[in-house]
Amino acid sequence: MTTRLPFVRHDVSFPSGDSSCAGWLYLPSGVASPPVVILGHGLGATRDMRLDAFAERFAQAGIAALAFTYRHFGDSGGHPRQLLSIKRQLTDWDSALDWVKARRDVDRSRIAVWGSSFGGGHAITVASRHPELCAAVAQCPFTDGLASALALGPVASLRMTPVLARDLAARIRGKAPVMVPIAASPGSPALMNAADALPGYQALVPKGKTFRNEVAARVIPTIAAYRPGRAAKKVVMPILFCVSDTDSVTPPAQTLRYARTAPHGEVKRYAAGHFDFYTGETFEALARDQVEFLTRHLAPLPASSAS
């Protein structure tokens, strides 16, 4: 059995755009200048919704990890709250990379990105724009807005039109955003209404914490138009696609088609749902596969060799 290294978690923040992102930096103990992986979450989720579990496994393998929360959510800055902007979130990723590259306690030449769900789509986009990265992981990634919209269903999509119109009007008038649920029961208007979406989100919330299940409705047309899977063909470093065979949110067939276009893409498939990826036996399988992939491409030194 592989020895798991101890680690130290630091509360950190870094500037991004007009505000800042809050994060946790995990540093493996006894490893000088470890490689580092940056982790970002999905739609409206914050880093305490199981990003910490993955970051801990990476740190135990000798890989430093920065798990951060996007602006406008959780304890990160940014106003108005619950604003989901693809452009701003991609800026947050770039800002995280800049912050990591300025640090002296990690190896700035060995950096990877890791994203899950909507963040998995971002990881593909970021990797395509940063050829200096050593590796990328896209977990149950959102790769095609049109495919996800079709999975949502036309009736539910149409039912969000009035709230979208009200939010766009509020934006023009400088008023507070009009919100739409992130996850809801089947048939209800929301960004996700698959049967496992709402209970899946709720299962990720730590005990004693709350989760704001809403975002500004103005994001709806930009999500539908976002197709980060198209950038896979431009990802020059090794990228691991972890795909749910029964994914109800990010249709796996389209993701697999995009994955095949990545020059150095690797695919792992799991007989588990989108929200099963974060807990239980499926999480354990994912963590093992991702640690193996990142170790292979980042080559962390064992603590005894780094001391």
- Percentage of the chain surpassing pLDDT 70? 94
Q: Is 307's pLDDT higher than 50?
A: no
156-206 pLDDT, tens digit per residue, is 666 778 888 888 898 889 888 989 999 999 888 889 888 999 999 999 999
Which of 121, 148, 117, 115 lies closest to 251, judged by CA?
148
Q: Is 115's pLDDT higher than 60?
A: yes
User: Rounded distance, CA 125 to CA 239, Å?
Assistant: 12
Which residues is 64 bridged to in the sheet?
A: 36
Q: CB within 8 A of 288, min separation 6: which ones? A: none
Give me the residue spans of the domains in the chain: 7-151+227-306
Fold of 7-151+227-306: Rossmann fold (3.40.50)
41-93 pLDDT, tens digit per residue, is 999 999 999 999 999 999 999 999 999 999 999 999 999 999 999 999 999 99
Mean pLDDT of 124-139: 98
Q: CB within 8 A of 133, min separation 6: which ones? A: 111, 112, 113, 126, 127, 237
Confidence of residue 305 (pLDDT cuts 50, 70, 90): very low
